């Protein structure tokens, strides 16, 4: 089989990506972001997605842990 190579945006917007649920939309404080979905599928288990941490969100906890060591 021979096929052309899609640019990333075209591939993620394509029919195959939609049919396989390969793009997930995650709500964040700055608005929704699109991410590549999990390629792993298991019966009775839907993949779970969460927003990435905000810049500096965990700094205080990490610095406190580092100071305690």
Q: What is the pLDDT of residue 68?
A: 83
Burial zone of 59 (CB within 10 Å; 0-12 exposed, 13-18 middle, 19+ buried): exposed
pLDDT of residue 27: 93
Q: 19-53 burial, b for 16+ CB within 10 Å, e for fewer?
A: eeebeeeeeeeeeeeeeebeeeeeeeeeeeeeeee
26: enclosing H helix or E strand = strand 23-26
- pLDDT tens for the chain, 69 residues long, are 788 888 989 999 999 899 988 999 999 988 999 999 988 889 998 889 999 898 999 999 999 988 887
Please report the pLDDT score of residue 24 as a whole number: 92
pLDDT of residue 41: 87
Write down the pLDDT at residue 36.
92
């Amino acid at each position: 089989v021979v096929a052309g190579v899609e640019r990333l945006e075209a591939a993620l917007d394509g029919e195959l990506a939609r049919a396989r649920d390969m793009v997930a939309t995650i709500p964040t404080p700055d608005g929704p972001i699109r991410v590549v979905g999990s390629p792993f599928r298991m019966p009775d288990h839907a993949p779970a997605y969460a927003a990435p941490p905000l810049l500096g969100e965990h700094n205080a906890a990490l610095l406190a842990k580092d100071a305690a060591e």
